[in-house]
Structure 1
Amino acid sequence: MGGEGKRDGKGFDLLRLRGKEYLEKARDILKKYWDYSDQEKRNNLIYPFGFFTGTLIYLEVILHLLIYQRVDNKIIYPILFAFPFGLLLALLTGLFRAAINKVMMWVITALICLIFGIQLIYFYVFKVYFSFQSIGMAGDAFSEFGSDIATAVRHNISGLLLLCLPLPVLAILLKDGFSCSKRKLKEQGILGIGVLLLHSLVLIALLIFGRGDYSPYDLYHHTKVYDLCGKQLGIATMTRLDISRLINPKEDLVLADFPTMQGKIPKAVPTPVPKTIKSMEAKPDRQKSDPTPSPLPTPTPVDTSPNVMEIDFASLAEGEKDNTTRTLHEYFASVTPTNKNKYTGMFQGYNLIMLTAEGFSP
């Protein structure tokens, strides 16, 4: 335990030093190319960046409390991801003249609040987060679960109002503080570099909890479990990953924490079954007149040899070009086979049909 604590402490120290280096580099670049003497230019960056970042952090924390009634130490990732995302949105709302930028701020803020509100209602009804990859079934969901959705909206009115709070805040800020003027190309380029630096820092921070199964690192890079992704990485990051996977669905299959094939498949060696012993015929007892009882039949031994199919997955993996299929071949080649038991082959020769009733399946 002491060694693990020291390693964790070193990891946090390294992360803090790396973060300090990134922030110092970003500050130096910003000072070099940005005119800090102009208050309007400062406000034109600080206000949008602070608003979008604060909005994302607020919505992530509120939604966590509404769904899970608590937050844990991994809430740090939704908060950290809010900074590069907020800076990116600030960059987008500085591309055009002030009137268009203000409209973009309204549209972006309303869209963010809408996504969080949809996730709240969807999770209340289905106990999972909404995925854009299943958007084709949205019509069926509204037609079959319309009454449940209406009930969920009624029961979560207060939560929906809390999630819409950034809209009146934006109205006040646009009236009193935001200029939303167009930025120069050089300034926008500096903001783009800042987005990359902040995002890189957050990706490094994913290693705090390791690379194991369903860790924040694994959920971001490999495993597609949206419920855990929304809880550990945040709704904004989950939505971004969901849309990117919708646009580019072709991905290699990754088996979390499973070793690649390390040897040949063990050959099935059936357990030798002894020949049935012939029943001994009762011989007449010359001394006793009582007949000798017949012996009990010898039970047939159970075959407990490895239950392995006669398929050479190793050679199939070597000749396979598709990454997903090859990964599956390697998995089947490396997995340890189970042994046969008395139930093996029970349904041989039968047509076995298994039904899963959705309403009764947890």
Structure 2
Amino acid sequence: MKKAAGFFKNWRMCIPFLFLYLEIVFHLYMRLDMTYAPVFLLLAGAAGMFCAGILFFLPELPAKIVGAVITAAASLLFVIECISRDILQQYFQIFSAVETAAGNKLTDYASTVVQSVRENAGGVFLLFVLPLLIYTAWVKITEPKKGGQSRKKEAFINGLTNGLLSLAAAVLVHGAALAVIFFAPWQGDFTPEMLYCTDTNIDDQVEQLGVIAMLRLDVRNQIFGVPEGSRAQIDEEAAAAVTGEEQEIEAEEEKEIVYPYNEMDIDFDALKASASSSGSAWLSEYFASLIPTRQNEYTGMFEGYNVIFITAEGFSGYMIDPELTPTLYKLSHEGFVFNNFYSTLHFTSTSGGEFQNLTGLYPKAGFPVSMSETGKQGTYLPFTLANQLNRLGYTSIGYHFNQNMYGRELSHPNLGYEWRQFTECASPLTAETNEYGNAYWPQSDDYMISQTFDEYKDLQPFNIYYLTISGHLPYSFDGSQMSQRNSELVEALPYSEKTKAYIAANLELEKGLTRLVDNLEEAGIADKTVIVMAPDHIPYSDLDVLEELAGRSFNAESLENLDEKTVDVDVYRNTWILWSASMDEPVTVDKPCSQVDILPTVSNLLGLQYDSRMMAGTDVLSSADPIVIFFSNSWLTEKGMYNRYTGTFEPAEGVVMSEEEKNAYVENIKYIVSSRLSLGQLIIENDYYRQALE
């Protein structure tokens, strides 16, 4: 009994206690669901006992030093996750993210990180300062008495014994955790069992398994790879649930035009038979089960047109105003008008938003970053606009007035663009500087247009891609030089300083678009050019700005953290511009749609040959029903909204379903959602387009 008491009184046992403390405080501070406490506390306790066991094998002084390092490192990791969630609205697999973070240099976020640390000072104290104080006090209070040679020998034997006991306890506690994970009757779309065997859905991993387990699994996956889980069984009936074929059959019966499919001649059965991996086999079987979308009255409407595609940094359509932003208003109201467009947040913010806009696929919900991987691996991406149009003789150039981020020096040439940025490209751009020669931060979108239009105006047909930067956070007149530049234009607006700063920064985009349209008209090519603009993401850390601009509450528990458990999904409602001067009147589209739908829709308008089955998005102008998929895996269609957290489906106004019909519909769409979210990752991992189309 004395030995057992000595074991638990030893200062090394503060490590398991601190791991439990960190998980509990983190979950409470971040307002996470405590339902999963048995899981994340057992996993944290096992990790703590393992670390304590290692410390028991070390002499006293080295053990104290290593213990201090473990405490400081663990506490710092919790703080990093807290700040990451605050700024990027996502937790990060820190170890697999090291390469991305190092490549990005994070200079764009330096002031934002400082601000976030300041705003989360209470969390920093609870998660970093207090654990170090507890460790120091615990070690001092329980410090063993010094003794002679015999006591040292006894201490060595006790340390060895206690170390083995601690490791044995770690194994037992971890076994208990696994039993709870794999055998408890968990309910819901995401369960601890599922999350324990994946390297995606990191926010759910943190909530259900804990920060320590998420980071440990990240290391496991880096070393041993991800355990291959079971993929959804192919369900042709479910796949047909959103094709709109019923309308086509009715049209045929009424002897209306029946348009051909947007498909290519691909033998998916042969591809499945010769597949070298289960992922490739599943993709072939899945694509074969789908009904392609049909062409429609808008097919080829912009065939042969010049294309200018803009991904707008941190843009929200709630800021558009007919007087303050007349060009944005014109382009969003006089072309195709998408009344229910959503820019849903997916992994890695800007890069993830770009990936959706440019590939029609969802990024992997975890590291490695999907867009970056396509560049590093040279993934064949035949359906990007640049690669499609280059085959038709277009000139494709992409511009970003910023340093190299997310490996764009490799990914964007692979998308088909002659890529230009400040660094790591064949023709570096020159930043706008002040009178002292210092580059502005962020750069001006208007300046970007002014410096580049003449380069391509005579290279018709051209396909230009702009990734804007003026709307980058932070939104303050001290933190953004674009906000400073336009401060007088927003001074009289009835908003807070932060919202005024957000609008002021984005006025550089308004100026740039005005310049662009004027230049196109002066060059006589406005009616042979189509402008496409969509955001990369909303200003997701600034819900107070969005609420002011929208003039309504989004029911967020926190104005800094975007929690889809409680927030109204209209926070993601946004503006997709699809405009040409050749349009005589606007075309209104009421279908719910999102960023992955842009590429198939624009491809159809340009009359390009593509296979509609091989993207996650849908041609919104076809008879098919797009699905808006949110980061949490909740979803929205014309027929209603499914809340993944409550497991409930609310039919849209005017939609009547029996309970049986509702249940069948929900299960069908959940299958499609799960499948579509996995396409991007599997296509990249298997270079599937190359297998199917080269």
Distance (whole Å) between structure 1 residues aligned to residue 304 and residue 164 of structure 2: 68
Q: Find the counterpart in structure 2 of residue 151 from structure 1.
A: 115
Q: Retained in 1: the 8 A contact 2:198–2:226? A: no
* Cα-to-partner distance string for 1:329-356 (whole Å, 9 max, x where unaligned): 23323x4425536358446955877553
Query: What letter is aligned with 2:87?
Result: V
Normalized per residue, the structure richer in strand is: 2
Q: Find the counterpart in structure 2 of residue 285 from structure 1.
A: none
1:43 shift after superposition = 2.3
What does residue range 210-289 of structure 1 map to in structure 2 within 5 Å? 210=186, 213-222=189-198, 224-248=200-224, 250-251=225-226, 254=229, 258-260=232-234
Distance (whole Å) between structure 1 residues aligned to residue 111 and residue 314 of structure 2: 17
Q: Find the counterpart in structure 2 of residue 75 from structure 1.
A: 37
1:176 aligns with 2:141: yes
Q: Find the counterpart in structure 2 of residue 142 from structure 1.
A: 106
Q: Find the counterpart in structure 2 of residue 198 from structure 1.
A: 173
1:99 shift after superposition = 1.3
Q: Find the counterpart in structure 2 of residue 117 from structure 1.
A: 79
Q: Retained in 1: the 8 A contact 2:84–2:92? A: yes
1:112 shift after superposition = 0.7
Distance (whole Å) between structure 2 residues aligned to residue 148 and residue 51 of structure 1: 34
Distance (whole Å) between structure 2 residues aligned to residue 212 and residue 302 of structure 1: 41
Query: What letter is aligned with 2:311?
Result: T
* Cα-to-partner distance string for 1:182-204 (whole Å, 9 max, x where unaligned): 45656544433332222122112
Q: Find the counterpart in structure 2 of residue 301 from structure 1.
A: 257
Distance (whole Å) between structure 1 residues aligned to residue 188 and residue 286 of structure 2: 18
Distance (whole Å) between structure 2 residues aligned to residue 172 and residue 310 of structure 1: 71
Distance (whole Å) between structure 2 residues aligned to residue 203 and residue 323 of structure 1: 27
Q: Retained in 2: the 8 A contact 1:142–1:149? A: no
**Among 46, 67, 79, the residue aligned to 1:105:** 67
Q: Retained in 2: the 8 A contact 1:49–1:86? A: no
* Cα-to-partner distance string for 1:303-327 (whole Å, 9 max, x where unaligned): 3x77654322233122222333233
| SS of structure 1 residue aligned to 2:30 | helix
| SS of structure 2 residue aligned to 1:224 | coil
Q: Retained in 2: the 8 A contact 1:74–1:232? A: yes
1:310 aligns with 2:275: no
Q: Find the counterpart in structure 1 of residue 89 from structure 2.
A: 127
1:61 aligns with 2:12: no
Q: Relative to structure 1, is the Cα distance of residues 105 and 311 closer, same or farther in structure 2, using a 3 angstrom cutoff? A: same
**Among 279, 287, 295, the residue aligned to 1:332:** 287
1:93 shift after superposition = 0.8
Q: Retained in 1: the 8 A contact 2:7–2:162? A: no
Q: Relative to structure 1, is the Cα distance of residues 43 and 145 closer, same or farther in structure 2, using a 3 angstrom cutoff? A: same
* Cα-to-partner distance string for 1:99-140 (whole Å, 9 max, x where unaligned): 111111111111111111111122221111132222223353
1:255 shift after superposition = 6.4
Q: Relative to structure 1, is the Cα distance of residues 332 and 255 closer, same or farther in structure 2, using a 3 angstrom cutoff? A: farther
Number of aligned positions between the proteins: 294
Q: Retained in 2: the 8 A contact 1:317–1:327? A: yes
Distance (whole Å) between structure 2 residues aligned to residue 350 and residue 220 of structure 1: 50
Q: Find the counterpart in structure 2 of residue 278 from structure 1.
A: none
1:151 shift after superposition = 0.8
What does residue range 88-103 of structure 1 map to in structure 2 within 5 Å? 88-103=50-65
1:87 aligns with 2:43: no
Q: Retained in 2: the 8 A contact 1:77–1:232? A: yes
Distance (whole Å) between structure 2 residues aligned to residue 83 and residue 54 of structure 1: 8
Mark the runs of 5 or more structure 1 residues left unpaired by the alignment: 1-35, 275-297
Q: Find the counterpart in structure 1 of residue 578 from structure 2.
A: none
Q: Relative to structure 1, is the Cα distance of residues 357 and 252 closer, same or farther in structure 2, using a 3 angstrom cutoff? A: farther
Q: CA RMSD in A?
A: 3.7
1:213 shift after superposition = 4.0
Q: Percent identity?
A: 23
Q: Tell me the TM-score normalised to structure 1 length.
A: 0.68
Q: Find the counterpart in structure 2 of residue 30 from structure 1.
A: none
Distance (whole Å) between structure 2 residues aligned to residue 338 and residue 195 of structure 1: 53
Q: Retained in 2: the 8 A contact 1:252–1:324? A: no
Q: Relative to structure 1, is the Cα distance of residues 302 and 56 closer, same or farther in structure 2, using a 3 angstrom cutoff? A: same
Normalized per residue, the structure richer in helix is: 1
Q: Find the counterpart in structure 1 of residue 419 from structure 2.
A: none
Q: Retained in 1: the 8 A contact 2:56–2:162? A: no
Q: Relative to structure 1, is the Cα distance of residues 244 and 353 closer, same or farther in structure 2, using a 3 angstrom cutoff? A: farther
Distance (whole Å) between structure 1 residues aligned to residue 121 and residue 264 of structure 2: 57
* Cα-to-partner distance string for 1:48-102 (whole Å, 9 max, x where unaligned): 564223212221222223223x543123322221221121111111111111111
